[in-house]
């Protein structure tokens, strides 16, 4: 690191520009730094556990009273995050949760893990980040490190986080307070990786901040990867998810073309992935779900316009993926038409509300879009999901709040004119489902039909 950019490293001796950063570095090294996690959801809760497990004192912040109660009682509100972890944190004096954001002054490190959705116009909705900054800003003090982990557009830390914090606290970046960005890389339900075993990318404003952030994360994760600044770190997460979005759009478009040619896209993918190099399998579906992949490409496309750049390739991929629910609806209409029925007035069962298998995570689930489209076309809509017994209120699909998952048995399924498989949960017997249902549209290849004449009532979409 250059001497004129702050901290320097010479002969394994670190020299800091600021006494505050030097003091905080010593606290982090000794494991005595107090860590505050803002946002106790799918990212913040596992991160809280990881710091706690490594011996840090952790204070969680959230505006959701229910999450705070769960935290205090040691009960889990995220299915894949076990009760044992929750109870250990609840029983320990080293870990607690609060709604009082003035307590930001009590911690040495503040990590922000709040949602960054899109507006109705598909522009970044930074209201959660701004709300957090406005809540903690007046309570910031000298010697703190503030890190944003929420996925966002390049420039957020520099143009939004730092200015708001400096204005509200009167502190100066690099001298009094320090800023960094480290993109979250959580993959809910992944049995092979957890927070501690996933490398962490870190970018910061100045070398003092970078050394602090790198030291902090190196104490809890298997590897840290430092980059030149916060903009670069912010761009890393976008690339990771845009890569997936574009490739999913590709196989979605191929699925549409291959279906017209009477070619099974899944058979094509299975054969192609036998190539040991130069190919990575992606799979089609009814649309994208989760908090990242459906949203992140639009963050970059929005920011690029500020520089006069049109991200046509990325926007096209987003358009293809966004339109997949309508493609599925068209197949539903065709499937019902073969049986002399129309979608209007039909009863439809949507199988799966979670956006990925074996989770209770329904964020940005394409099933909600499907249910809205079916309802708009006059169908009666129900759903079944073993992990989501009742639909929680969402901003975009509020009308479904409180609706309960129907029982899954022959008697229930046989009453529906159409069953649409939208999530492939491992605990569901899709062979029995195919026997019980009179008409099935399968968007997840849950019921392979190639060469089986008894399954002519099952459509792949």
Which residues belong to the active site? 292
Token output for 398: 């509020």
Q: Which residues, 6+ apart, have CB-to-CB distance to 40 below 8 Å?
A: 48, 60, 61, 62, 64, 67, 71, 97
Tokens 């520099």 sit on residue: 158
**Which burial class, exposed, middle or buried, applies to 76 when counting CB atoms under 10 A from its CB (0-12, 13-18, 19+)?**
middle
CB 268 within 8 A of CB 259: no
327 forms beta bridges with: none
CB 336 within 8 A of CB 343: yes
CB 300 within 8 A of CB 311: yes
CB 276 within 8 A of CB 228: no
* DSSP three-state, residue 450: coil
**Which burial class, exposed, middle or buried, applies to 362 when counting CB atoms under 10 A from its CB (0-12, 13-18, 19+)?**
buried
Q: CA-CA distance, 73 to 79, in Å (whole number)? A: 16
- Max distance between CA atoms of the chain, in angstroms, equals 80
Measure CA 324 to chain center.
20
Tell me which residue of 247, 252, 178 sits closest to 215, measured CA to CA.
Answer: 178
């Amino acid at each position: 690191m250059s001497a004129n950019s702050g901290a320097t490293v010479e002969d394994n001796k670190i020299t800091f520009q600021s006494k505050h950063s030097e003091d905080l570095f010593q606290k982090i090294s000794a494991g005595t730094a107090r860590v505050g996690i803002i946002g106790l959801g799918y990212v913040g809760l596992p991160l809280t556990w990881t710091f706690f497990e490594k011996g840090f004192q952790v204070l969680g912040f959230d505006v959701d009273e229910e999450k705070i109660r769960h935290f205090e009682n040691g009960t889990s509100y995220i299915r894949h995050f076990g009760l044992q972890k929750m109870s250990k944190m609840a029983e320990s004096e080293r870990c607690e949760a609060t709604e009082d954001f003035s307590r930001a002054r009590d911690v040495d490190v503040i990590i922000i893990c709040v949602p960054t959705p899109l507006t109705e116009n598909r522009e970044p909705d930074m209201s959660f980040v701004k709300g957090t900054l406005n809540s903690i800003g007046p309570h910031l003090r000298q010697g703190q490190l503030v890190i944003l982990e929420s996925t966002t557009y390049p420039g957020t830390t520099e143009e939004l986080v730092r200015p708001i914090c400096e204005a509200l606290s009167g502190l100066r970046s690099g001298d009094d307070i320090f800023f960094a960005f480290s993109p979250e890389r959580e993959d809910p339900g992944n049995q092979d990786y957890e927070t501690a075993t996933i490398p962490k990318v870190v970018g910061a404003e100045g070398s003092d901040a970078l050394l602090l952030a790198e030291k902090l994360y190196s104490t809890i994760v298997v590897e840290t990867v430092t980059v030149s600044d916060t903009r670069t770190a912010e761009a890393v997460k976008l690339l990771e998810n845009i890569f997936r979005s574009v490739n999913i759009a590709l196989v979605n478009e191929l699925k549409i073309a291959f279906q017209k040619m009477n070619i099974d896209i899944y058979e094509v993918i299975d054969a192609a992935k036998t190539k040991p190099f130069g190919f990575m399998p992606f799979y089609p579906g009814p649309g994208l779900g989760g908090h990242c992949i459906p949203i992140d490409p639009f963050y970059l496309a929005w920011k690029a316009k500020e520089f006069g750049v049109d991200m046509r390739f990325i926007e096209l991929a987003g358009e293809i993926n966004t339109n997949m629910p309508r493609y599925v609806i068209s197949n539903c209409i065709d499937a019902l038409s073969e049986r002399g029925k129309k979608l209007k007035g039909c009863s439809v069962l949507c199988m799966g509300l979670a956006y990925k298998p074996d989770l209770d995570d329904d964020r940005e689930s394409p099933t909600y879009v499907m249910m809205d489209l079916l309802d708009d076309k006059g169908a009666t809509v129900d759903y079944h999901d073993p992990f989501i017994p009742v639909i929680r209120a969402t901003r975009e699909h509020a009308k479904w709040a409180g609706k309960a998952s129907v029982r899954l048995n022959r008697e229930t399924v046989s009453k529906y004119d159409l069953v649409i498989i939208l999530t492939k949960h491992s605990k569901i017997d899709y062979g029995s489902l195919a026997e019980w249902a009179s008409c099935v549209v399968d968007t997840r290849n849950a019921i392979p039909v190639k060469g089986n004449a008894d399954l002519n009532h099952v459509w792949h979409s």
